[in-house]
A = this chain, B = another copy of it.
Amino acid sequence: MSGGGAQSAAAPAARPGAVARAAYPNALRATVDAYLADMRFGPPSGSTRGLEEAMHYSLLAGGKRIRPVLSLATARATGRDEHEVLPFAAAVELIHTYSLIHDDLPAMDDDDLRRGRPTNHKVFGEDVAILAGDGLYAEAFRHVLVHQEGAPGDVLRAVGELAAATGVDGMVGGQYLDVDGCAPDGADGLREVHALKTGRLICASVEGVLLLAGAPAAVTMAFRSFAAELGVLFQIVDDILDVTGTDDALGKPRGSDERHGKRTYVSEHGLAGARELAAQSHRGARAALARAAPGSAPELEQITDFILTRQD
């Protein structure tokens, strides 16, 4: 376990990009990476090899794996072995990858670079990129429904939450509000876009693990409050980094939100205002976590601090 421990409990300075990054639970990330690298899709005939290559290109492009690592860290915070929830965690990452591929399409954000490499449709063509996204979404559900252990009723509830979090009252609805620009004006509208687009899947990464364990509703709700605030923090920092980050660290040209005419926490509140909101949100997430898992969630604390101070 690299750096997972109580020493991470001190909150870092509250200025994203301006301080050293907090430690990250890299052992959990390595567990996720190894599991994802072993996943296979498609018929034994091998005829869909080209499609699977496109899926793996984006799935194995690196990244912090924040969502599945959150799932594993939540399992540990609730006294379970993190390996027990790997099928669920992998499904979350497949879904996140699918959303990135579709968001990058020419008809959507029309982005050429992602994590420093050409986007999926630039390499494989638009038709294959659309299908690679569709395939990752299907394989996420197949994988978790077939391989996740637990009481069947608990698995149903966890996967049902994953579907809801990525549907119209979740990720897809948020992406619609984002590309169509039809969210209500002001801070409330911005908050709704991001609660749907990124917040709900981050929430489901945590909440799903509680549902898998059949945890009491009060415990599930306490973790959900933490995860909801973490989702807000994630998005504020994302918006800040789009302005302050370097192209190298971001893996794409900075300023893309402004070029796309997107409303962000920076466009609504200014850079200093957004930083203050990030600091508030970080304090709120740590407080919610302390209530949900008093003294027993070092990896979740690490992730919370890391999200505030991340630079890519």
Contact = CB atoms under 8 A, between A and B. Distances in A.
Interface of A: 41-43, 45, 47-48, 50-52, 55, 102, 105, 107-108, 125-128, 130-131, 133-135, 137-139, 141-142, 145-146, 151-153, 155-156, 159-160, 163-164, 166-173, 175-177, 179-180, 182-184, 189, 192, 196
19 contacts: A41-B167, A42-B173, A43-B192, A45-B184, A47-B173, A47-B182, A47-B192, A48-B169, A48-B176, A50-B182, A102-B131, A107-B127, A108-B130, A128-B176, A131-B176, A134-B172, A137-B138, A141-B141, A152-B155
A160 B91 CA distance: 13
Contacts of A42: 168-169, 173
Given A47-B183, A152-B153, A160-B145, A138 B126 contact: no
A216 to B, nearest CB: 19
Contacts of A108: 127, 130
A175 B145 contact: no
A142 B163 contact: yes
A176 B107 contact: no
A145 B156 contact: yes
Contact of A48 (B41, B102, B173): B173
Contact of A152 (B105, B152, B180, B184): B152
Contacts of A127: 107-108, 179-180
A135 B160 CA distance: 14
Interface SS of chain A: helix
Contacts of A131: 102, 172, 175-176, 179
Nearest to A166: B138
Nearest to A40: B168
- Pick from A55, A128, A160, A170 the residue with the most CB of B within 10 Å: A160
A47 B145 CA distance: 31
Nearest to A175: B131
B135 A167 contact: yes
B167 A142 contact: yes
A139 B167 contact: yes
Contact of A163 (B45, B138, B151, B169): B138
A124 to B, nearest CB: 10
